[in-house]
A and B are shown apart, each in its own frame.
Chain A
Amino acid sequence: MASGAAKIDYDGRTVDLLMLKTILDAPAVRVPVDVDVSNVSGEPMIVTGVEKMVQRYANAFITALGSAKFRDGHGTNLVPSVAEGLVYNMPTLEAVAAEANMMARTQTKEGDEETDEDTPADESLEESEVTGLSYSRERSRVEISVLLTTASGQSYTYIIPVAVGVH
């Protein structure tokens, strides 16, 4: 789920595959991918601009640290901590989410520096902050709200749902 998406000029930008549809606001532009994906259910989309930056942040945030070979530094401890039952109350979740935010921010910024072309200011992450945690016992999940601010000054609040298996 996302809110606060701005209108983006997609010309001359690099694109990524859309992983999390929750990143996109309803009115956002969706462009079909120009490859043969006949066996893929649903219509794969590409994403760019600030949504692409958010997706990179979200990717790092919810990836289990060390789960990808040769990418030991990619991801955070959020999901492993939840899966191993180490998050047993809201203060713990707050601490884990804060650490995950810091790691995801660092990795997203490092990714900004990888390209040999100038990254547009609205695709570069400037700051990220965990702004809220809510717990739904009925749905056995928590939702982590993160406020992402781009180098161009745009703000974007992304709400990350995490299943916690609480009964």
Chain B
Amino acid sequence: MKTITLDDITQEDFDSAAQTVIAGIKAYNRKLDTRSGTVLRDLLVDPEAAVESVVSGQIAEARKSSSLAMLKEAQDDGEEIDPEDVASILSNFNITPSSGTKARGTVKIVVSDGALAYSVPEGAVFTTADGLSFEADAQVVATSAGIRNPSVTPTTKLYEGAAGYFFLVPVTASEVGEAGNIQQGTSLSPGSQVSTFVMAEAYKDFGGGSDTQSLESIIESIPSGLSIRGFVSRTASEGMLRAEFDSGDNPIVAVSSVGYGHPAQRRDRHNVFGVGVGGRIDLYVRNFTDAFTVTKTVTGSAGESDGTYTVEVPTGMFPGACWVKSVSDPFSRLAASSSSSGSVGAEEYETVLSSLAFTAERTADVSGTWHDIDVSSGPAEAFNTVWQGFRIRLTDVPPDGGSAETGYEWSSSRDFKVTMYCLPQAVDIQAYVDRDDVRSVATDVVVRCPIVCSVSVNAVVHYDPKNPIDEEEAKTLIRTHINGLGFVGRLTRSDIVQILKNLGAVSVDMPNQDMLYGTLHDALGVAHSLSGDALDISSIEDGPAMISKDTVVFAAERGGIQIKMIPNA
């Protein structure tokens, strides 16, 4: 809480306090003259008014600091709010506000000499032109594969790229905040000298950075904070998860409880009559804003046809996975070079990180759990849980051996990099709801990643040339809006238009049905597409496939927001 001094007091406050003091003096003895210029005014009224106004100001500050609504009002008026005041109020409700998280990513450092060993110490700083700084997570030592130096133990490879050589340094933002989620290709400057340095940039989009929880969000979270602790109601379930996870790296954005009587609740019909009996709860947790992905190397087996592979992703490898984002072959340099005429450069190396053609189906292994999940007729009941796996079938995989002259060859088994949309901390959340001291004795709670409806936006924005619109800001605001939504069930054109108009757009055109486009995969693995003026989940609602407004969230990635800016003539 701010300490009020005389410097914080306005003339109006002082005059008001003086009138209060004068009224008190007059009530005591109306013969005392307190007009300006009198000794009583100078020696009695004014000093007392000064003290009175400071005390009144401090009382007002104390009242404000004990009310979230008043703090919000003050913040809207441009005042800076003390986070400790907010935390103090919330502690009454057993709620801890999220203090935000730091963005993480990988810096690509390009150097000109491939024969040297390069070392970046832990804590080395890299800075963007905007002043955002990132620090190396650990010491990185990079050498070319062919270099042998007994005095150097490399921790990573020095790759050959188009503009020289490059190596990768994992970094974390110095400060918490979503601003640290910089885009792939963002230029970075090293804080200390790197030999033969050419340039540094964000290797991929950075992620994981989140701002300190806003007052609006805190106020919204209070009902769940006040609810009875137990999986007995939607607010109570959310409250329990928030109390446990909001102060961590992945604070809760929204929670949806699918329980007794819900069309998407399949597990409580495990009886001969096939009717719901209650006691089963599926918790869909959104604890990510930008879609959260995990990449791992998985070995695939060659299929009967050339260029086909099957990749079995076992249960536990991607806990809480939602769907496959991409599959790539990180070692297909031979394939890359054989399909292009020049030498293998950085761009080609990175090109192979884009996805191979694939189809995926869900699998499940529930042998190790007591939860009531019936997979005898298919893995749908385990979908998006920690017990789910995937079977990925790849086609048109480039060869990894041979040549055009001798004939191409495909190894019987190859490693592929599989990237999945996942629920962060899925194992932790499931373990928490399963704890003996947390779970209700009458309920069976399963945690699921929401079905992610991947959204793309295509808009033509007309603006006044005298009032130009920052295209990047517009894209960021739209993405932030979409990725901050809970289980709303509907995303409309007007939502997007309103954001653009708030930025100063004169008009926004919807040139075709691609204005809004969304894709998702249901529990049965079937893909669905939505497009048009609104993405309405109710239009594809399907209980057995577990599609409902309570199971789906919208998410947009950077590349998914396309805006064409046209100045008005």
Task: State whether B33 touches A52 (Cβ < 8 A).
Answer: yes
Q: Which residues of B contact A18 (CB under 8 A)?
A: 39
Task: State whether A15 touches B50 (Cβ < 8 A).
Answer: no
**Residues of chain B from 21 to 40 with CB closer than 8 A to chain A in the complex:** 30-33, 35-40
**Residues of chain B from 77 to 121 with CB closer than 8 A to chain A in the complex:** none
Task: State whether A14 touches B32 (Cβ < 8 A).
Answer: yes
Task: State whether A16 touches B36 (Cβ < 8 A).
Answer: no
Q: Which residues of A contact B49 (CB under 8 A)?
A: 70
Task: State whether B50 touches A69 (Cβ < 8 A).
Answer: yes
Give the interface segment out of A1-9, A108-116, A133-141, A153-161.
Answer: A108-116
Task: State whether A68 touches B33 (Cβ < 8 A).
Answer: no
Could you list 5 further interchain pairs (A-B, Cβ under 8 angstroms) beyond the known A16-B32, A18-B39?
A14-B32, A17-B38, A59-B39, A70-B49, A71-B36
| Complex Cα spacing A127 to B330, Å | 98
20 A/B residue pairs, CB under 8 Å, sorted by A: A14-B30, A14-B33, A15-B33, A16-B33, A17-B39, A17-B43, A19-B39, A52-B38, A55-B38, A55-B39, A56-B37, A56-B38, A57-B37, A68-B46, A69-B50, A70-B14, A71-B36, A111-B38, A112-B35, A115-B33
Q: Which residues of A contact B39 (CB under 8 A)?
A: 16-19, 55, 59
Q: Which residues of B contact A13 (CB under 8 A)?
A: 31
Interface residues of chain B: helix, strand, loop or mixed (majority): helix
Task: State whether B31 touches A14 (Cβ < 8 A).
Answer: yes
A107 sits at the interface (CB 8 A): yes
B42 sits at the interface (CB 8 A): yes
Distance in Å from the Cβ of B473 to the closest Cβ of chain A?
Answer: 44
| Complex Cα spacing A17 to B50, Å | 20
Contact of B11 among A70, A110, A114 (CB under 8 A): A70
Q: Which residues of B contact A17 (CB under 8 A)?
A: 38-40, 43
**Residues of chain A from 2 to 60 with CB closer than 8 A to chain B in the complex:** 13-19, 48, 52, 55-57, 59-60
Interface pairs A-B: 3 shortest CB-CB: A14-B33, A56-B37, A17-B39
Give the size range of B's interface with the partner: 20 to 34
Contact of A59 among B6, B11, B32, B37 (CB under 8 A): B37
| Complex Cα spacing A151 to B232, Å | 83
Task: State whether A111 touches B37 (Cβ < 8 A).
Answer: yes
Closest to B36 in A: A111
| Complex Cα spacing A57 to B43, Å | 16
Task: State whether B36 touches A74 (Cβ < 8 A).
Answer: yes
Q: Which residues of A contact B6 (CB under 8 A)?
A: 69
Distance in Å from the Cβ of B523 to the closest Cβ of chain A?
Answer: 70
Q: Which residues of B contact A71 (CB under 8 A)?
A: 36, 46
Q: Which residues of A contact B37 (CB under 8 A)?
A: 56-57, 59-60, 74, 107-108, 111
Interface size on A, residues (CB 8 A): 26
| Complex Cα spacing A55 to B14, Å | 25
Q: Which residues of A contact B42 (CB under 8 A)?
A: 59, 68
Among B30, B31, B36, B46, the most chain A Cβ lie within 10 Å of the Cβ of B36
Contact of B36 among A19, A48, A55, A114 (CB under 8 A): A114
| Complex Cα spacing A108 to B36, Å | 8
| Complex Cα spacing A115 to B35, Å | 7
Q: Which residues of A contact B14 (CB under 8 A)?
A: 70
Distance in Å from the Cβ of A10 to the closest Cβ of chain B?
Answer: 10
Q: Which residues of B contact A55 (CB under 8 A)?
A: 38-39
Task: State whether B43 touches A15 (Cβ < 8 A).
Answer: no
| Complex Cα spacing A71 to B37, Å | 10
| Complex Cα spacing A68 to B37, Å | 12
**Residues of chain A from 51 to 94 with CB closer than 8 A to chain B in the complex:** 52, 55-57, 59-60, 68-71, 74
A69-B6, A69-B50 given as contacts; is B11 within 8 A of A16 (CB)? no
B238-259 interface bits toward A, Cβ cutoff 8 Å, 1 = contact, 0 = none: 0000000000000000000000
A68-B46, A70-B11, A70-B14 given as contacts; is B35 within 8 A of A111 (CB)? yes
| Complex Cα spacing A87 to B398, Å | 98
Closest to A60 in B: B37
B197-238 interface bits toward A, Cβ cutoff 8 Å, 1 = contact, 0 = none: 000000000000000000000000000000000000000000
Closest to A112 in B: B35
Closest to A71 in B: B46
Distance in Å from the Cβ of B184 to the closest Cβ of chain A?
Answer: 57
B1-22 interface bits toward A, Cβ cutoff 8 Å, 1 = contact, 0 = none: 0000010010100110000000
| Complex Cα spacing A70 to B8, Å | 12
Closest to B22 in A: A114
Q: Which residues of A contact B35 (CB under 8 A)?
A: 56, 111-112, 114-115
